[in-house]
């Protein structure tokens, strides 16, 4: 027996309608051919990876998360954080790739494979294998047990039930955000692995969402929101779990929390799209007035978003955005020209050299933030 999906009340249905409306707006905006969409997609993926890993205590700056996901060296993330972020980004990339496959199916072996991708950097995690015994979640500060998973003897049957449910639900009329939320809840409550259960549950949720196929998959993820609201995330899991495996508990608080996450994340994306449009218009003017190569708009866009720019990450950003690849020498020349015009400022020396937005780029970003409009963060379930 798994946690059952609550009957949808009028309030849940209304929020689902708002989510769908926001998704359709996103779909329209993202399908138009604009050069900055590739940049925004890359940053959105990095935010999802950063958010999910921050919940587990692997904290990295956004530009480091983007670098690790692209296979580049970060500026300051620890080795353990690098390994965790790389494993998660590889698993997420695989999820986004296989989501559209016609012969896709939910299986326990597929979930074990995702777990192996995430955790294989440490054999102590039992990568790709169910846990071997009982499992307890403890409060890190007090050491108290806050949750006990089901008996290890139940894990295989419960996980098979979960994948069977997902296979039967796939393509039915149940809204994808609801199916994804319940998949997340059931996996994290079963706690089938020795370690990595939270990231696995969030990755599975993203897979269910990506299978819907209505919107570019990375823009359906809510991992950034969960990373920014970790305490609330843990609190609602504790409210629903009540300390031990009991699938008869009411999952409605969890469902409402996740629907709120979807709506707020979609609103965030819409604000960022507006911001990206305004930034790109400003960058086009700057590039034309300063006689800069058009490709430098890519690096200026990242700098305006707070990224620390390096030669390698500049070249990688161009390639990942579909631009023509450039050599290390050309990248150095571009960066030097941006410094000479005051648009970038250098930091560090030799191998530690990187660049940040100069005063003019910073001022442009501030003007864009004022003009883009505010995000609606209201609680859709507030009484």
Q: Is 200 annotated as ligand-binding?
A: yes
Question: Which burial class, exposed, middle or buried, applies to 289 when counting CB atoms under 10 A from its CB (0-12, 13-18, 19+)?
Answer: exposed
Nearest one of 359, 339, 338, 362 to 287, comparing CA atoms: 338
R_g of the chain, CA atoms, integer Å: 22
Q: Is 201 annotated as contributing to ligand binding?
A: yes
DSSP 94-132: HHHHHTT-TT----HHHHHHHHHHHHTT-GGG-TTS--S
60 SS3 class: coil
Write out the DSSP string of 273-326: HHHHHHHHHHHHHHHHHTT--TTHHHHHHHHHTTPPB-HHHHHHHHHHTTPPP-
Q: Do the Cβ atoms of 346 and 311 come closer than 8 Å?
A: no
124 is in an annotated binding site: no
Euclidean distance between CA atoms 58 and 174, whole angstroms:
34
Q: Which helix (H) or strand (E) holds 145?
A: strand 145-148
Residue 347's SS3 state is strand
Count of CA atoms in the C-beta half-sphere (13 A) of 34: 19
Residue 248 marked in a binding site:
no
Does residue 227 have a known ligand-binding role?
no
Consult the annotation and say whether 94 binds a ligand.
no
CA distances from 16 to 6, 13, 86, 211 (A): 14, 5, 33, 17
191 catalytic? Reply is: yes
| Ligand-binding site membership of 91 (annotated) | no
User: H or E segment at 152?
Assistant: helix 152-169
11 has binding-site annotation = no
Is 198 one of the annotated binding-site residues?
A: yes
Residue 377 counted as an annotated binding residue:
no
Q: Which residue has the tokens 């790739």?
A: 97
Q: Determine which one of 115, 184, 191, 269 is catalytic.
A: 191
- The burial of 220, by beta-carbon neighbours within 10 Å (0-12 exposed, 13-18 middle, 19 or more buried), is given as buried
Feature table: binding site: 195-202, 233-234
Positions marked catalytic: 191
Feature table: binding site for ATP: 195-202, 233-234
């Amino acid at each position: 027996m798994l946690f059952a999906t609550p009957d949808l009340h009028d309030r849940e249905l209304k929020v689902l309608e708002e989510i769908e409306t926001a998704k359709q707006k996103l779909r329209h905006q993202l399908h138009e051919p604009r050069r900055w969409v590739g940049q925004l997609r890359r940053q959105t993926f990095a935010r999802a990876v950063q958010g999910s890993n921050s919940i587990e205590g692997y904290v990295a700056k956004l530009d480091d998360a983007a670098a690790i996901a692209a296979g580049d060296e970060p500026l300051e993330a620890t080795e353990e954080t690098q390994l965790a972020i790389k494993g998660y980004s590889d698993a997420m990339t695989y999820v986004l790739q296989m989501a559209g496959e016609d012969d896709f199916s939910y299986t326990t072996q597929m979930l074990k494979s995702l777990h192996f991708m995430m955790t294989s950097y440490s054999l102590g995690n039992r990568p790709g294998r169910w846990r071997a015994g009982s499992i307890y979640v403890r409060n890190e500060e007090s050491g108290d047990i806050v949750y006990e998973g089901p008996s290890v003897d139940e894990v295989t049957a419960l996980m098979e039930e979960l994948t069977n449910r997902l296979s039967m639900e796939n393509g039915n009329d149940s809204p994808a955000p609801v199916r994804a939320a319940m998949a997340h809840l059931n996996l994290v409550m079963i706690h089938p692995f020795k370690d990595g259960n939270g990231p696995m549950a969030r990755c599975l949720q993203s897979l269910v969402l990506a299978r819907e196929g209505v919107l570019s998959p990375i823009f359906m993820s809510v991992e950034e929101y969960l990373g920014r609201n970790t305490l609330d995330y843990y609190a609602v899991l504790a409210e629903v779990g009540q300390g031990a495996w009991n699938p008869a508990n009411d999952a409605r608080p969890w469902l409402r929390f996740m629907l709120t996450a979807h709506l707020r994340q979609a609103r965030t994306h819409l604000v960022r799209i507006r911001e990206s449009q305004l930034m790109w218009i400003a960058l086009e003017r700057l590039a034309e007035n300063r006689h800069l190569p058009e490709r430098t708009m890519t690096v200026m866009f990242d700098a305006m978003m707070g990224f620390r720019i390096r030669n390698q990450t500049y070249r990688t950003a161009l390639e990942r955005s579909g631009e023509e690849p450039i050599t290390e020498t050309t990248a150095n020349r571009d960066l030097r020209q941006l410094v000479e015009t005051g648009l970038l400022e250098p930091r560090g020396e030799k191998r530690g050299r990187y660049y940040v937005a100069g005063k003019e780029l910073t001022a442009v970003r501030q003007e864009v933030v004022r003009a883009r409009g505010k995000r609606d963060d209201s609680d859709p379930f507030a009484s």
